[in-house]
Amino acid sequence: MAVQFSEEKLNKVKEIIARYPEGKQKSALIPVLHLAQESFGGWLSAETMDYVAALLQITPIEVYEVATFYSMYNLKPVGKYLFEVCQTGPCMLNGSDNIIAYIKEKLGIEAGETTADGMFTLKTVECLGACGYAPMMQLGKFYKEHLTRERVDQIIAECRAQAGN
Amino acid sequence: MGRKLLLDKAHIEGIRYYDVYRKNGGYAAAEKVLKNMSPDQVTEEVKKSGLRGRGGAGFPTGLKWSFLAKPEGVPRYLVCNADESEPGTFKDRYLMEFLPHLLIEGLLISSFALGANRTYIYIRGEYAWIPDILEEAIKDAHKNGWLGKNIQGSGFDLDIYVQRGAGAYICGEETALIESLEGKRGNPRIKPPFPAVKGLWQCPTVVNNVETLAAVVPIINIGGDEYAKIGIGKSTGTKLISACGNLNKPGVYEIDMTISVEEFIYSEEYCGGIPDGKRLKACIPGGSSVPILPANLLLKTAKGEQRMMTYESLNDGGFPTGSMMGSGGFIVLDEDQCVVRHTLSLARFYHHESCGQCSPCREGTGWMKRVLQNIENGKGKMSDIDLLWDIQRKIEGNTICPLGDAAAWPVAAAIRHFRDEFEWHVNNPEEAQRHNFGLAHYADPLPVVAAAAAV
């Protein structure tokens, strides 16, 4: 599949570029990489990055530099559902270690791995700014907070049900 | 009840939306500014208010504004720092989610004062649903004539844009944030030149925290002098505290800076004490970077005075016996928590977040993490404690940006106040795997305070 934004996404790119003064379209790089990751399977391949570079009229290396710096860009394929579980201090004080261990056991994978069916990837991440509602994880666009074993079971079941539809 | 200036209307149903916000006194401050005030008068009010940067550094906001260079024909920018990433801090998220128009109004007034016609909100990438809320608020503000060209007939033009980051703590540092906004890696710049002279696209730029910019609204509404009357000394006005860790009622609280730390932790109006009747062991009062304090030094200063929730009181005693207000990320550890393990968690965080530009930080944070890992996992040597101390000293002050200091301070303070807990880990490697040190051999016990805490 050739990497190519839809007409709608291309308009979005134009709208993003218009936020900056003339000639400063490089500023659009981070938002456009988010858009690319969403559009092309949840990760950034070299082909995708080269496409973004051409789109913004910058060199590919400028894109690689940025894509490798920020933790939200996935540089290899991830599962359909990415569990990003916080493990930093305040979450740790509220039992994030146990939650991470439980998710590993439940999915049969280690942090950084994807289940064989390509459904789930587990990633441990650093503070997501939800410390008062710990333990927590990011799932797609939203946060899942006040995690317990039961809540984790429920989230996994919801994902499976959604994927089944 | 303490006075509330930011969250006083947070409970009103639908306050997130323009009509409700406007009906409840919203945009009155903007109206006042655009009709009756000059930019310099606005800056003057902010100066009089004594408002200090709410992101962590506590630098006087009015003074920061007055440094902005104003060369002819060069655009100036205001950038709102919404990259809230300091562990323990989640207050800006609350403001943006529930009171987006308060921030937009604050941005409008501040942009007017600074002469900025294009203003950016740089928000951390993980807060992925909040840009939608902000963009809707911006759209409604436009529709109602508070953004765009010739706002309310004042001749002032302003557009506000939201930019999402992509996961990097370092982008909370203002020059790293500017680099990121230019589409680059978040590597902090060497200062000078300061952003006030050469910032975004080499133009004069002010970067302020979300809470700081929101606070400009009540300052204009009640006047700088009135705002300055709230609080103690140079800690004027109200401050949002995000309380977390082992607390009965974690969450975001607005305090006027007149209450004690003890009242904040134990009173029902605020955090409601520690769950399961456990005792307080330690607290990091201002976000993960500031020094951890054992319970006795948290509740009372070394001089025996009650510790207050103010910039000065939290700092009383300097680093040997005090801490900092920082970002207001208030992290509480109960008696069963392990200081070594918690320090390791923070060391791992800073190692992960170091941008890699300066060797002391890039290498030192990794060393600290590995040495702490050894101690925590029962493989530590007594000399490791001194090694940790040595590493943190070599990081502090030797980096371009304050992330190095931020990584060094938690380790230094943990060793300073809880050295016996580190030694216990080294001497009892197997026991340390099974249970935590607790309060039994408490670093510096003051039973009087612990007894009061148990009530």
CATH of residue A63's domain is 1.10.10.1590
Q: Do B337 and A87 touch (CB under 8 A)?
A: no
Is B118 part of any domain? yes
Q: Do A31 and B88 touch (CB under 8 A)?
A: no
Q: Are residues B425 and B307 in the same domain?
A: no
Q: Do B129 and A142 touch (CB under 8 A)?
A: yes
Q: Are residues B249 and B171 in the same domain?
A: no
Candidates A57, A69, A85, A145, partner chain B, best to mutate (most B CBs within 10 A): A69
Contact B333, A110 (CB under 8 A): no
Strand order of the sheet with strand B118-123? B159-164, B118-123, B77-82, B205-209
For residue B430 the two structure tokens come to: 């197997």
Give the residue from B167, B200, B229 where a domain finishes: B229
CA distance B255 to chain A (A): 17
List pLDDT tens digits, range A33-84: 999 999 999 999 999 999 999 999 999 999 999 999 999 999 999 999 999 9
Separation CA B247–CA B419 (nearest Å): 25
Q: Are residues A49 and A103 in the same domain?
A: no
Contact B298, B307 (CB under 8 A): yes
CA distance A46 to chain B (A): 18
Q: Are residues A55 and A87 in the same domain?
A: no
CA distance B45 to chain A (A): 31
Report long-range pairs for A147-151 (Cβ below 8 Å, ≥24 apart). A147/A85, A147/A96, A147/A99, A148/A99, A149/A99, A149/A102
Residue B439: pLDDT over 50: yes
Separation CA B297–CA B285 (nearest Å): 12
Q: Are residues B30 and B172 in the same domain?
A: yes
Cβ burial, residue B133 (10 Å; 0-12/13-18/19+): middle
| A57 in contact with B, Cβ within 8 Å | no
Is B4 part of any domain? no
Q: Do A126 and B352 touch (CB under 8 A)?
A: yes
Is A76 part of any domain? no
Q: Are residues A122 and A86 in the same domain?
A: yes
Q: Are residues A114 and A158 in the same domain?
A: yes
Q: Which residues of A touch B346 (CB under 8 A)?
A: 88-89
Is B292 part of any domain? yes
- pLDDT at A165 (0 to 100): 66
List pLDDT tens digits, range B101-117: 999 999 999 999 999 99
For residue B314 the two structure tokens come to: 């939290």
When CB atoms are compared, the residue of B166, B246, B252 closest to A93 is B246
Q: Are residues A29 and A98 in the same domain?
A: no
Give the Å distances, CA to CA, from B194 to B67, B190, B202, B327, B354: 9, 8, 10, 22, 21
Contact B333, B281 (CB under 8 A): yes
Q: Percent of chain A having pLDDT more than 90? A: 97
Domain with A119 in it: 81-164
**What is the DSSP pairing of strand A142-144 with strand A137-139?**
antiparallel
Is B9 part of any domain? no
Find residues 125-154 of chain B whose CB sits inside 8 Å of chain A: 125-129
**What is the DSSP pairing of strand B205-209 with strand A137-139?**
unpaired
Which CATH number characterizes residue B27's domain? 3.40.50.11540
Neighbours of A76 (CB within 10 A): 10
- Return the bridge partners of B7, or none: none
- pLDDT at A156 (0 to 100): 97
- pLDDT at B453 (0 to 100): 43
What is the band of A2 on the pLDDT scale with cuts at 50, 70, 90?
Answer: confident
Residue B61: pLDDT over 60: yes
Q: Do A132 and B348 touch (CB under 8 A)?
A: no
Residue B2, helix vs strand vs coil: coil
Is B1 part of any domain? no
ipTM over 0.90: yes
Contact A96, A122 (CB under 8 A): no
For the residues A141-161, what does the mean pLDDT come to?
A: 97
- pLDDT at B433 (0 to 100): 87
For residue B192, is the peptide bond before it cis, meaning its omega torsion is within 30 degrees of 0?
yes
Q: Residue type for B128, please? A: A
Q: Are residues B107 and B244 in the same domain?
A: no
Q: Do A127 and B85 touch (CB under 8 A)?
A: yes
Q: Are residues B84 and B216 in the same domain?
A: yes
Torsion of CA B365, B370, B373, B379, to 10 degrees: -150
- pLDDT at B447 (0 to 100): 38
CA distance A141 to chain B (A): 5
Give the residue from B187, B208, B229 where a domain finishes: B229
Separation CA A96–CA B124 (nearest Å): 22
Which CATH number characterizes residue A104's domain? 3.40.30.10
| B341 in contact with A, Cβ within 8 Å | yes
Q: Percent of chain B having pLDDT more than 90? A: 91
Q: Are residues A86 and A152 in the same domain?
A: yes
Domain with B109 in it: 18-229
Residue B48: pLDDT over 80: yes
Neighbours of B58 (CB within 10 A): 19
Q: What is the mean pLDDT of chain A?
A: 96
Number of domains in chain B: 3
List pLDDT tens digits, range B152-207: 999 999 999 999 999 999 999 999 999 999 999 999 999 999 999 999 999 999 99
Q: Chain A residue with minimal CA distance to B187? A: A69
Number of domains in chain A: 2
When CB atoms are compared, the residue of B87, B163, B352 closest to A31 is B163
Q: Which residues of B touch A93 (CB under 8 A)?
A: 244-246, 331, 333, 337, 342
Q: Are residues A85 and A135 in the same domain?
A: yes
Sign of CA dihedral B133, B210, B12, B331: positive
Q: Are residues B303 and B378 in the same domain?
A: no
When CB atoms are compared, the residue of A26, A72, A127 closest to B125 is A72
Q: Are residues B210 and B104 in the same domain?
A: yes
Q: Are residues A85 and A152 in the same domain?
A: yes
Q: Are residues A23 and A43 in the same domain?
A: yes
**Helix-then-strand count for chain B, H and E:** 20, 11
Say how far residue B306 (Cα) sits from the centre of its chain.
23
Q: Are residues B331 and B357 in the same domain?
A: no
Q: Are residues A53 and A87 in the same domain?
A: no
Give the per-residue SS3 of A7-23: HHHHHHHHHHHCCCCCC
Is A125 part of any domain? yes
- pLDDT at B435 (0 to 100): 82
